[in-house]
Structure 1
Amino acid sequence: MSRRQSHAAGHGPSQRQLRVGEMLRHALAQVLQRGDISDPLLETAVVTVPEVRVTPDLRHAICYVMPLGGQHVDEVVKALERNKKFLRGELARKVTLKYMPDLRFEIDRSFEEGDRIDQLLRSPEVARDLERPDDEDAD
């Protein structure tokens, strides 16, 4: 089975996609940390970039972002979208690629998902299922 077929079968991103995504994530975090963007919201907001996913052809990148404290999430994403041309240019100077991917920004929902799973694990129903009676331990 060729690489192309194995990827189409749903085996996940290639090593190259992962490497390029990580390089873009580091470069984007540096640009956001420096605060060179002339947007009042982005100059004051501290934005984390937990993940960047790149398409198999490396033409598009989805940048998952979350403002510190989870405040003004929608406004920050809109500000990043407004400034994506500038950000793409800055990333092109930092990361050497044949083509700089088109950037798209989305809210990172992994924190919410982690909280949801944590609440499920602490629920009385799950705690009851995890408890074992003492007489089962003796067997």
Structure 2
Amino acid sequence: MPSRDFKRTDRVSAELRREIGLLVHAAVRDHALPSVSVSDVETTKDLDWATVWVTALMPEQSTVAVKALKELAPEFRRSLSRSMRLRRVPELRFKYDESVDQGERIERLLRDNPVPPIDDSEKD
């Protein structure tokens, strides 16, 4: 029997990421929320909880956006129960993904403080 490359939780997480991404995009438009997008979804093994990681176009408005998404989570879950073929849709937890902001900060620091090239002739 061939081994499975993906676990069920991985497949469910990928499907949730697609579906929640569409729901979040519509919520941003309909509720005039700060622009956010879904970067990842992590589902627990028992499929009881799904942590939805979001990034914001303007990081200073991330707390407002995450708070609004947390309030909309029950509505998203209801919508997911209609669109997905799952026995039980996981509870949604929205969290802000700071990795993009940290990457941009590191890139800015490297750009502002370039590392001088190493001169091989000075080694001898």
Q: Which interval holds the TM-score relative to the shorter structure? A: 0.7 to 0.9
Q: 2:38 aligns with which of 40, 44, 49?
A: 49
In structure 1, how many angstroms separate the alpha carbons of the residues matched to 2:100 and 2:62?
Answer: 13
> What displacement does 1:122 show?
4.2
Residue of structure 2 in register with 1:21 after alignment:
13
TM-score by length of 1: 0.70
Matched, 1:31 2:23: yes
SS in 2 for 1:28: helix
Residue of structure 2 in register with 1:133 after alignment:
119
| Distance change (3 Å), C-alpha of 1:42 and 1:65 | farther
Taking only the aligned residue pairs, the percentage that are identical comes to: 32
Deviates more, 1:51-60 or 1:111-120: 111-120
Contact 2:55 2:100 (8 Å CA) reproduced: no
In structure 1, how many angstroms separate the alpha carbons of the residues matched to 2:110 and 2:39?
Answer: 24
SS in 2 for 1:44: coil
| Distance change (3 Å), C-alpha of 1:95 and 1:42 | same
In structure 2, how many angstroms separate the alpha carbons of the residues matched to 1:134 and 1:107?
Answer: 44
- Deviations 1:70-105 (CA, angstroms, capped at 9, x unpaired): 342111111111121111111112221121111001
In structure 1, how many angstroms separate the alpha carbons of the residues matched to 2:56 and 2:107?
Answer: 21
| Distance change (3 Å), C-alpha of 1:93 and 1:113 | same
> What displacement does 1:42 show?
6.2
In structure 1, how many angstroms separate the alpha carbons of the residues matched to 2:30 and 2:52?
Answer: 15
More helix by share: 1
Matched, 1:105 2:94: yes
RMSD: 2.7
SS in 2 for 1:104: strand
Residue of structure 1 in register with 2:3 after alignment:
none
TM-score by length of 2: 0.77
Contact 1:61 1:102 (8 Å CA) reproduced: yes
In structure 1, how many angstroms separate the alpha carbons of the residues matched to 2:58 and 2:30?
Answer: 14
Moved over 6 A (4+): none
